[in-house]
Every structure is written in C-alpha cells, then in structure tokens.
Amino acid sequence: MATATAGDSLPAVALDGVGRAYGERVALREVSFTLARGATVAVFGANGAGKTTLLRILAGLLRPHAGSARVLGAELPREAYRARGRIGLLGHDPMLYRDLTVRENLRFHGRLHGVDETRAETLVAQVGLAARADDPVRTLSRGMTQRAAICRAVLHAPELLLLDEPLANLDPGGAAAVAPLIGRAAGPARVLISHAAEQGLAEADDVLGLREGRVALWAPAAQVGLSDVRGLYA
C-alpha cells in the first residue's frame, strides 16, 4: 500500500524540459508541466507524438535524457525507488501473465506490493469479474482483460495513476464498473492518455497536447475546445 512521505506536499508530477530519444529518433523534447495532487491531466496527440514515452518516464521505466522529472516528490531516475509502489500504470500491455488466472495474477502483484489478498477479491467483484476470476487471462475477452488490468493497476491504491486509453475495449457496463477505481472520484492524481477528445476533456483539469514530442498545447481543460484537441491530430 502507498504510504505518506515527506514529499506529499510536492506536486504529483513536475517536469521541466524533459527530453528522451531512442537512438537518433527524438521522442520527447523539452516537455514541462506540473500536475497537482489529486488533479488530472489529459494528454492528447497523434500516434508517435510521445505520449507512451511520457507515461513510461513517469512510471520510472524509462530514463529521461534531458531535463528534470519529479514524480511524487522523487527525482527521476536518481530517487525512483521512492516512487515505486506509489504509481499505478495501465498501458497498452495489461501486464498480466496469460497462463495465470485473474486471481493468481492479482495475488502475485499483491504480494509484490504487500497488499492483503482481500483487496484483490474486492476489486474483482467490483469490476464484475468474480465469475471469471479463476479463468486464465488468455481465455478472457479484451474487455475482461482490461478490467483485470485495471484491478492490477489500482491494487496497491497508488497516489498517481498513469492511464493509457483506460476505457479501450470496455462496454458501457464495464466503463461504469471501473469508473470508481480510475475515474476522477478515485482520488489519485491522473495522467490520462485518450483519443476521445470529449471524454478526455470532461475528465481533466488540464490538457497537454503533444506534437512530434513537443508540447503543442498546455491549458486548463475549461479553456480548451474540441477543435483545439482535433488540431493536434491534423
């Protein structure tokens, strides 16, 4: 479970001039923004704009090559260990072992995070997966796998949620079931990647638009229109 630390008064995310390259290809250039605790930033951008790279840097899985990145008060990558166990990542990969059941996967991740087994049971029931909890993940539909992945991402009650199209593959019932876990009311700060402009804007306090790895838009969500978001994909 996440525990309070001395850095709790600091923003959830504070990036200053962050850059990242893969060999010759620059994926992120001079990205700067701040995300307050409990707030949500919606990240928009076309494919290859650098959204996933940004998320993986925030998760501590990629080192920034330039600039300064602070997550939950921890300077990355030097103090990444301080943020471990306090961040929940829901990416394109569900991060679930396909040959293990949903319950086995959640218990495994629960043990890594020191979380009681009852937490997994509660989450599985909450997202409507109780009847399939003993089925291997490889036998689940995409929507069910996404529900299980959401359980995995919030299992340890993270202080920062990194969500990459969290409602992908979910039917309306599934989306409603996971809303208390990853929606605005869930509590943690959120970095939300979405291609659904309307939905993303409704969920966010701030909007970050990326184009070719650069910040093309940074504004409070209330001041951003659908056309501004669509312009990022032009």
Partner 1 sequence: MRTTVAALIRKDLRLELRSFESVPAMLMFSVSTFVLFHFGLDRGALDGDLAAGVLWVTLLLAAVLGMNRLFVAEQEQGGFDGFLMAPVDRTALFVAKALVLFGYLAAVELVAVPAFVVLLLAPGAGQALPELLAVLVLADAGIAVVGTLIGALGVQTRARDLIVPLIALPLLVPVVIAAAEASAPLFAVAGADPFPGRWLLVLALYDAVFGLLAYAVFDYLLEE
Q: Does 73 bind partner 1 (CB under 8 A)?
A: no
Q: Does 117 bind partner 1 (CB under 8 A)?
A: no
Q: What is the C-alpha separation between 84 and 74, in angstroms, rounded? A: 10
Q: Decide: 163 and 120 in contact? Cβ < 8 Å.
A: no
Q: What is the C-alpha separation between 19 and 167, in angstroms, rounded? A: 28
Q: Decide: 136 and 98 in contact? Cβ < 8 Å.
A: yes
Q: Does 128 bind partner 1 (CB under 8 A)?
A: no
Q: What is the C-alpha separation between 96 and 105, in angstroms, rounded? A: 6
Least Å distance between CB 86 and partner 1?
8
Q: Name which of 40 and 105 has its Cβ closer to partner 1.
A: 105
Identify which of 135, 167, 138 has the alpha carbon closest to the alpha carbon of residue 150. Answer: 167
Q: Does 62 bind partner 1 (CB under 8 A)?
A: yes
Q: Name which of 112 and 226 has its Cβ closer to partner 1.
A: 112
Q: Decide: 184 and 172 in contact? Cβ < 8 Å.
A: no
Q: Does 100 bind partner 1 (CB under 8 A)?
A: yes
Among 13, 54, 96, 133, binds partner 1 (CB under 8 A): 96
Interface with partner 1 by CB under 8 A: which residues? 59-63, 81, 84-87, 89, 91, 93-100, 104, 108-109, 111-114, 136, 152
